[in-house]
Each structure stands twice: as structure tokens, then as C-alpha cells.
Chains A and B, each alone.
Chain A
């Protein structure tokens, strides 16, 4: 059986009504590896991430949790040993570790084990957001029952107080604060938030609103790429 691959990119243009929700071009490919139960790569600007999901499978007795499925998240940086993670890679690991169980219907799967393995192919800015998107697409590809989808959006606030979604490496470096949110597809609420730098309450609320708007584009992209993939198969 040959794995079915599909590459497709979509340019998300700056819309005139919401000038701050501009996202760079992103692309994804699902089911590109044969061994994992689900896999996806997600490319966003200069960052590209590969994610693979195994499971549900039998869990080791030593790792078993009596009332829920065991989750494992592994991050592999492209350069260097996986044991020594950079701060942003470490963040990504914890975020996925806490985020995946919420979107997945895991509570009834006692004694099951699930492993999300993420390989960071190009370590660019917004690693976290990109990894979240890749992981979500891999979970979808694995066909696991999910409560909702999630996507990651990064916002940066520059010294003048302007908000940039999907900042470039240079914008991120010059910014006063950087925030990454995971937004759920059901009600567009904040599932995860991770912030750096200090900012005011109204700036936070603006960033959340902007991320919620931007998330719509990403979910539309998920939908488009999946429907395109299955329309070819049928």
C-alpha cells in the first residue's frame, strides 16, 4: 500500500478589514510517513515542523495511569541532542502534553498509550504555533476521536504598541512581548496561552481577539486541505 501524499499550500492574503490578522503563506502535507498512525508536516513562513502520532496502543505497566490514557510527547530538535532542549522547544513539549488530552476523547481509554512525536525541521520563529498546527493535523490524520480541533497563533507587540500576527524572526526579536495562543475550533476560545515579556490587559485582549480572527483562516485551511485530500481519494 503506497501512502497517499498531498502537498498543498495556500496564501493567506492581508485582508483590508482586519489589517492585523495577516498570516504568511503556509502549507501542509498529511500522511507522509508510513510507520506512524498519523503524520503531518506544517510549514509556516521559515518554520517547518514534522509531527507523527502513534496510538492508541498497549501501555507499559510502569507508565500506566489507572483512569486515563498515557500521553507522551517527544521533541526532536534538528540540531543537537533531544535531551537538551532549547527553551522554546521545551515549551512546545509541555504545551502539547497538556493540550492534546483536552482535544482528544481520551478519558475512557484506560490502559491505552498515545505518543506524539514532533521533529523540528527548521527552527524558525513561532515554533510553538507551528508545532501545534502540525500536531493537530497529525492527530486528525491518525483518525483519533476528537472533541475539537486546535490551532496555534503567535502575536508580537512591537515597542510602539502595534500588534503583528505571525511575526518574522526580526519582528520577534525587536518586539516587547510575544504571545502564543491555542484556539479551539468549536467556540474559538483560548485553550492554551504562553506569553513572554510584559504587556497591559487591553493589549492582551486585543491579541486574543486578533488570534481568534486569525484562527478562522487556519481552520479554513485545515478544512480545505483535508477535503482536497479526500476528494482525490474518492
Chain B
């Protein structure tokens, strides 16, 4: 494997010493600095909503497809949101073709959790008629280029794509009981919250760096992702194992995540505005 053989103790030590001494990372960033984030919305014309996000080299595309279906039996007044993260072999040599691997499954589950916890969309809003008809939003998130920190990019792509979605009006004909779709009347989704994630890589509790690249992720001894919404509330503090962190260090991460939220919200708003002008 190409991603392989430089990974032993030596580069890790070298990396750590350099970062400590110079307070600067191999790509010239400071420890708390994100890579340049760019956003493009409506990039896939066949999807009901889409967005393309780049954080440095990491490229994530999200397409949303809406379909009509019957609501779940246990919650007849709710619709479905089904996220799926795909890490194809295309994006990095570390992934192989076939069924989704550990990382892709974990990412899908994390995105599903963020949607549920932050209440991005109230699931009641996408129900058309209680117990009969609702929308199901398939959010397909695909990585085109893997260079670390995909979770942050996935969340930005998802939120931007959801803001881009326009659903046609659906009425149920009282006589025939069939759904009638009015393609001329389209409405945006009601996005109630804007969660933004910030990922950190931990090196033995001494160095915490923000927005790690793929190489830094590989060298790190732990990862943590903090998701906040615009009201400075936390939606997820996701730390899947790795080096243990004290409460104070965690607090530093959260503070950085809150400022990051403002930056990203600004970016999404600017892009939405410019899209409207077109």
C-alpha cells in the first residue's frame, strides 16, 4: 500500500519535535488554524439539493434526493432522513472496493447522530399527511479526495445541501386518495439549526491540532470531533477512544469549535446569498 511504509515511530517523533519547537505544522499552518474552506452549492443538477465542500485537499460532495413514502409505523407524524457516507477507493489508496468499511460506517452513524441530536430539520416538518405520506431525504455524502478531517467537511456539505433542497408541493386528492405533486410550487426546507463540526487530532495529550490532514490523522494518538450549533450549544462531543483527555483540554477544543462555527456559518450564508443573486 502506498499509504504505508513511512509510518513507524521515527516520523512520529520527528513530527512531534518539530511541531513543538516551531509551533508550526508541515504545511505552514499554526496549531489552531484550519485549512482554506471553499463551498459550492447546487453542483449536481440531477439531485434535489447538493453541495461540494473543500477543506484543503479534502473534497466532499453531498447530494440529496427526496422521495415520497409512507411514514414509519412507530412515528406516523415524522419523515425520514437517511444519511450515507461513502468512502470509495477513488478518494484514497487506504480504501478498498466492496462493502463500506469501518470508517465509512462510523462516519454514517456519526452524521445520523448529528442530525438527530441537533434537530437540523424537525422530522415532523417533512411529513405530508400523518400516517399516510411523508418525504424521505436520502443524503448521499461521497468523498472525492481524502486528506483528513472528513467529518467536518461532511457536516458542512450536508447542511449546505439541505439548504439547497427545494421540495415541490404535494397535496393528497381527497377523492382518489392519490398524491398530486405540483412541480411549479417549490419550497425550501425549514432548517432550524446550523451545526458545525471541528475535528482535533491529539498527540499524547501534549499537542492538540485542529483540522488534521490524513498524515496527521495517521500519526496522531487520538481524534475528537466537537459539533456546536449557532446558539453555542453542543450537539456532539464525539471521541471514539484514543488518548485520554482532561476536562481542561476538552474545554480548549470546545472554545475553538465555537469560533469555527461562526466562520463556517458566515461562509455558508455568503455562498447562499451569491447563489440567490445568480
Would A and B touch once assembled, by the CB under 8 A criterion?
yes
Contact of B242 among A66, A90, A191, A197 (CB under 8 A): A191
B residues within 8 A CB of A182? 241
Contacts of A205 on B, CB cut-off 8 Å? 247, 250-251
Which residue from chain A places its CB closest to the CB of B5 in the assembled complex?
A: A66
Is chain A's interface secondary structure helix, strand, loop, or mixed overall? mixed
Q: Is A24 an interface residue (CB 8 A)?
A: no
Residue of A nearest to B243 (CB): A102
The smallest C-beta distance from A184 to any residue of chain B, in angstroms, reads: 5
> Can you list the 9 inter-chain pairs with the closest CB atoms, starting with the nearest?
A98-B241, A189-B244, A99-B241, A98-B240, A193-B239, A191-B244, A184-B244, A198-B233, A193-B237
Judge if B4 is at the interface, Cβ distance under 8 Å.
yes
Say whether B247 contacts A198, CB under 8 Å.
Answer: no
Inter-chain CA distance A205–B234, complex, in Å, is 11
Question: Which of A66, A87, A100, A201 is close to B234, meaning CB atoms less than 8 Å apart?
Answer: A201
B residues apposed to A, CB below 8 Å = 4, 7-8, 102, 105-106, 109, 112-113, 116-119, 205, 221-222, 224, 229, 232-247, 250-251, 254
Contact mask A46-89 → B, CB, 8 Å, 1/0? Answer: 00000000000000000000110000000000000000000100
Identify the closest chain B residue to A90 (Cβ): B109
Instruction: Give bound CA distance, A172 to B268, whole Å.
Output: 35
Given A90-B109, A98-B240, A187-B244, are A197 and B102 neighbors across the interface (CB < 8 Å)? no
A208 and B232 contacting across the interface, CB-CB below 8 Å: no
Q: How far is the CB of B200 from chain A (nearest CB, A)?
A: 13
In-complex Cβ contact of B118 among A90, A193, A198 (8 A): A198
Q: With a CB–CB cut-off of 8 A, which chain B residues contact A87?
A: 109, 112-113
B237 lies within 8 A of A198 (CB): no
B117-A195 in contact (CB<8A): yes
CB of A87, distance to nearest CB on chain B (Å) = 7
A196 near B116 with CB under 8 A, answer: yes
Set of chain B residues within 8 Å of A99, measured between Cβ atoms:
240-241
